[in-house]
Structures are given as structure tokens and as C-alpha cells.
Amino acid sequence: MTLRRLKLSTVITGLVCLVVLLSLLITDLLITPTITERVKGNLEERAVILSKIVAQSPVVINGLKNKEQEGGIQHYATKIVESSNVLFVVVMDMNGIRKSHPNPNLIGKKFVGGDEKDVLKEGKHYVSISRGTLGLSLRAFTPIYDEENIQIGAVSVGISLEKVDEAVDQVRNKIIIGTIIGLIVGIFGAYVVAEYIKTTLFGLEPMAIAKIYEERNTMLQSVHEGIIAVDQNSVITLVNKSANRLFQKAGLSDVAIGMSIHDYLPSFALDHVLQSGQPELDVEYRMNGVTILVNKVPLIVNGEVVGGIATFRDKTEINKLAEQLTGVKTYAEALRAQSHEFMNKLHVILGMVNMGMYEQLTDFIRKLVHHRFHEGDHVAKMIKDPALAGFVMGKLSYAREANVQLKIETNTVIPEPKNSTLIHEIITILGNLIDNAIEAMEEMKENTIKEIKVSLHLEDHLLKINVSDTGPGISDELIDRIFEKGFSTKGENRGYGLYLVKNSVERLNGDLRMDSDSKKGTTITVVIPFETKKGE
């Protein structure tokens, strides 16, 4: 737990130091014995070569054969010692009596060490380690022969073992110095790398990254919307539980991270978003009868598109929520309109009572009740779906409040549909068409006729909706754009009503037609499939 709380630079620096120190230890354990043997072997080889050179020297051979020339041996051996940096070069006769020695006082005395017997008795070439008058040394022995190949003595070249240890220590020191330099460079490099990684990770430490990662996973798995993320090659890198639930609802298997989204959902590609870097919002897709609403957004890092994210939700749930909201809104609007209209009628009644116009008051109330009863009775008889009938009644009150005459004509009874979601689409179509017609006549003069006719006709499982008004009409240059999303002549944040109408008609595989004339007004006709319940 403590290690997890350390800074990234501390962890990397500590790791580099540990690796370098382990490397030093392993190097010392594995390489030092090898180097020691190699250095020792090189010194042995040097000692053997020198002993052979001395053994073949005419000065040495003549000195051993002639007593008069014996003094030349010491002079020759001294030069060899000085030039080759060895401990000693000792020439001895067959009795082991020294003819040369670094200490002239020991010349004429017997060789010390006891390791010279094999070279004198058997004429062998060999190397040994023994202690003599100059201390512990490595000795190379070589027999000396005269011209007739008769052994007349031997030579011993000695190298101090302290020099062997010094050579090994020199190599080891170089390794240690190199390791220390590597350690310093490694620490500096670790610090630079740690800072670079930290900068790349927006200055976050590992603990903060782990916390953000856990929070992200929890958030992704808890949201109700389905989420899929892909890289720049359209390979799926992330998917949450809600996405798999929605795909299972559509009869598909679970999404596997690492597979291409083209293989799983060919029609759901994010290629356009990845190429353009522009989001696509509120796009509808159908998967095995399930309609989903999708938002596609590119993932941009340092100005480069590195992937894309798609969020989506079952449109059935959105429709249910929209139906509830539409019902509440319609009910509230109807109550507000009826309340306003009722207050106006009460003011008329109060005025007639104050003026004593009782006969006219009786006639006014009789006509008002008859109109209300006839209007409500007609809608209830011809439109059997309660939500649609209540919606129409609300629009009648809303139109009267706006001083617009709204007429509802139904040549046939409109029964309840087989699919309840169809009512939501019909309410969307009717509501936006009526609202647009009322808004179109708002700026007309008071003495002009403001009339909207709505006809509903059901025949051969096709519902024909016709909405016509006596408004100013739509110009030819605008009629082609009137159904575009966000297009409006009324100002900003408008232009969604007819766009929603068009989408609803397309979802229902229906037909939409508009006719507009500046003198006669505008007529919009919608024909959509309408399956009724069994027995109706």
C-alpha cells in the first residue's frame, strides 16, 4: 500500500538504482572469477615465455658451462627483470645453486621454495606457486640445455601474486567506476523519463490515474445509456453493460473488445466521424426491430482524432417518456385554455346579469352548453383513443384562446390502434401541424378569417390526416427547406416542429405532401399505415 502512494519519479528512480546495483553484484560474482583466471593466465604465459627466452640465451648457457663467464648471467637477468617488470629471474645449476638473483648476496646459495625439483631432476616445464626469499610468488620453471641437448641447469621467472591481485583490482575498479557512471546516468534518465511520462499523463501520479480509471469504469457501467468506444481503426476498445443489454434485446450477442465494429454492426460504422472529426447527434438506427437513438462523437487528443465514442438509448423508452411529457403538457395546456375561456364566459355572464339582460343570458348559456356538448360528444364518438381524443379537445380550447376557428372533421370512426406507440406519432404530427398553422396566422389582421380545418379519414388500414389553414402561405423558395431541422422564419431556437413531423412520417413509412398558396393558405396531407385492434 505504501509503494502505491510513492511518486512515479521515485518509483522509477528506485527501480533503476536497484537494477544497476543488482547488475554490479551479478557482474562481480560472475565476471570477477573469470577475470582473475584470465589475468593469472596471462601472467603465467608471460612468465613461461620469459623463462624460455632466458633458458635459450647464449649468455646463460655459456655462463653455466664456463666459470669465467658466470658473472654475465646476473647482469643479463637484472636487465630482464627491469624491462619485463617481473619479481625475479633466477638461473640455477643442476644442484639448485643460484647464479642470479635480485639480491646479489643470495647468489651462490641454494634455491628456496622446494618446487624446483621437477625441473632439475626430470627437465619439466611447469608453473607453480610457492614462497621464497621474496615472498609468495607465481613461478615458471624451464630447463636449460647446452648445444648437445644436455641439461646444464634451470631458470625460474617469478611474478608476485600481489601484482595478480592488483591487476584484478584494477579491472574491478573499472567495472565499479563504469557502474557508478551508469547509475548516475540511469538516475538522471529515470527522472527525465518520469517527468515525460507525468507530462504525457497530464501531471497525474499513478494513484490518481488508478482512481480516475476506477471512477470511469464505475460511471460507465452505472449509466443507463449504452456506450461503445473504438480506436482510429474502428476496433472496439470499450463497451458497457447497458450496451450489451440493448444488443441482447435486439437479438445480438455480447460485444467483444478487440473486434471490429464493422463485423458486429455493419450499419453502425463510425468511419465518417473518424474521418471528418465532426460529431453526429440524434441519429436513429433500427436493429432487428429495435429503434435506438445514437450520438457519435470523435475522440480528439492534441488535435488528432484517435478514436470515437457512440452513446445510444432505446428509443422505445424515450418515446414512453415523451408520451408522458406530451400528455402532461397537453393536459396542462387544455386546462389553461379552458380556464381562460371559462373566465371570459363568466365575465360575459356577469355583465349580462348586471345589466338585467336575463333573456339574452338564457339564450347565451343555452347556446354555450349546446356547443360544448356537441363538440365534446362528436370528438368522443369519432375518436376512440382517450389520449388522442383528449389531445384534440385541448387543441380546440387552445385555438379558441388564440382567436382561431379550429374544425375537426372525421368521416369515419378512428378506433384505437394496435400499437399504442402509433398514438404518440399521430399526436406529434397533429400537434405540430396545428401549432404551426396557429402561429402562421398570429400576425394576420383581426378582421380576416382565421380558420384551421383538420380532417381524419381511415380507409384500408391507412389514416389520412389533412390540415389546412387560411394563413399567408409559404413562398416557393422556402417550401423546400421548411422541413429542415432548425430552419425557421420565426427566429433562433425554432424550426423543429415540421422536422419532427417529417421524422414521424418517415418512421411510419407514410407519405407527406404540402400545398401552399398566398391567397388560399397552406394544406398539408399526411397518409400513414394504421393497424387497428382485432375486432375493430
Alpha-carbon distance of 127 to 139, in angstroms, equals 5
pLDDT of residue 495: 56
pLDDT confidence of 143, banded at 50, 70, 90?
Answer: very high
Q: In which element (H, E) is residue 264 found?
A: helix 261-264
Answer yes or no: do 310 and 363 share one domain.
no
Q: What average pLDDT does the segment 495-507 reach?
A: 80
User: Residue for cell digits 603465467?
Assistant: 44
> Mean pLDDT throughout 6-17?
75
Whose cell is 601474486? That residue is 161
- Give the CATH number for residue 494: 3.30.565.10
Residues 437-450 pLDDT 10s: 888 887 777 677 88
Structure confidence at residue 493 as a pLDDT band (50, 70, 90): very low
Q: Is the pLDDT of residue 48 over 70?
A: yes
Mean of pLDDT values over 99-128: 86
369 and 494 co-located in one domain: yes
Q: Are residues 260 and 383 in the same domain?
A: no
Residue 318 reports pLDDT greater than 70: no
| pLDDT grade for 171, boundaries at 50, 70 and 90 | confident
Is 209 contained in some domain?
Answer: no
What pLDDT, on a 0 to 100 scale, did the predictor assign at position 1?
45
Does 321 or 513 have the greater pLDDT score?
513
Query: Are 362 and 303 contained in the same domain?
Result: no
Q: Specify the DSSP element, H or E, that contains 295.
A: strand 290-301
| Count: domains in the chain | 3
- Are 252 and 132 within one domain? no
Higher confidence at residue 122 or residue 213?
122
Mean pLDDT of the residues in the chain: 78
Domain encompassing residue 264: 226-314
Q: Which pLDDT score is estimated for 142?
A: 92
pLDDT at 316 over 70: no
Spatial separation of the C-alpha atoms in residues 150 and 411, rounded to whole Å:
146
| Residue that wins the pLDDT comparison between 491 and 351 | 351
Report whether pLDDT(422) > 50. Answer: yes
Please check whether residue 326 lies inside any domain of the structure.
no
Asked if residue 178 has pLDDT above 70, the reply is: yes
Question: Residue 354: its pLDDT value, please?
Answer: 77
Lowest mean pLDDT among 45-59, 95-109, 197-211, 458-472: 197-211
Domain stop point among 166, 187, 213: 166
Same domain, 471 and 392: yes
Contact 420, 466 (CB under 8 A): no
Mean pLDDT across 251-259: 75
**Residue 63 falls within a domain, yes or no?**
yes
pLDDT at 158 over 80: yes
Which of the 8 DSSP states describes residue 123?
-
At 341 the pLDDT is 58
The single-letter DSSP state of residue 415 is: -
Give dist(CA 39, CA 69) in Å, integer.
Answer: 37
Strand 521-529 and strand 511-517: the pairing is antiparallel
Question: What pLDDT is recorded for position 369?
Answer: 55
Point out the domain boundary residue: 294, 314, 334.
314
Residue 194 lies in a domain: no
Residues 231 and 376 in one domain: no
Mean pLDDT over residues 451-457, rounded? Answer: 90
| Among candidate residues 261, 279, 314, the one where a domain is terminated | 314
| 513 and 440 part of one domain | yes
232 shares a domain with 149: no
Same domain? 162 vs 252 = no
In this predicted structure, the answer to whether residue 297 has a pLDDT above a threshold of 70 is: yes
Q: What is the mean pLDDT of residues 13-42?
A: 77
**Residue found by looking up cell 458486429 in the block:** 264
At residue 494, the pLDDT reads: 53
Residue range 31-53: mean pLDDT, rounded? 82
| 221, part of any domain | no
Please compute the mean of the pLDDT values over residues 262-267 and round it to a whole number: 72
The whole-number pLDDT of residue 464 equals 92
Q: CA-CA distances (angstroms) from residue 341 to 333, 349, 399, 427?
A: 12, 13, 11, 23
Q: Which of 51-55, 281-285, 516-520 has the highest mean pLDDT?
A: 51-55
135 domain-assigned: yes
Q: How confident is the model at residue 67 (pLDDT cuts 50, 70, 90)?
A: confident
pTM of the complete model beyond 0.75: no
* Confidence check: pLDDT of 4 > 60: no
Q: Is the pLDDT of residue 532 over 60?
A: yes
Region 18-31: what's the mean pLDDT? 76
In this structure, what CATH number is given to the domain that contains residue 42? Answer: 3.30.450.20
**Of 465 and 261, more confident:** 465
Q: Is 223 left (phi over 0), alpha (psi -120 to 50) or beta?
A: beta
Residues 407 and 498 in one domain: yes
Residues 26 and 157 in one domain: yes
- Please tell me the least confidently modeled range out of 101-115, 184-198, 312-326: 312-326
Q: How far apart are CA 350 and CA 111, in angstroms?
A: 152
Q: What is the pLDDT of residue 332?
A: 56
- Of 51-60, 204-213, 366-375, 396-405, the poorest mean pLDDT is in 366-375
Share of residues in the chain with pLDDT > 90 (%): 3
207 domain-assigned: no
Give the Cα separation of 311 and 281 in Å (integer): 10
- The answer as to whether 340 is a domain residue is no
Locate 299 and state its grid cell: 475522440
Three cell numbers, residue 390: 383528449
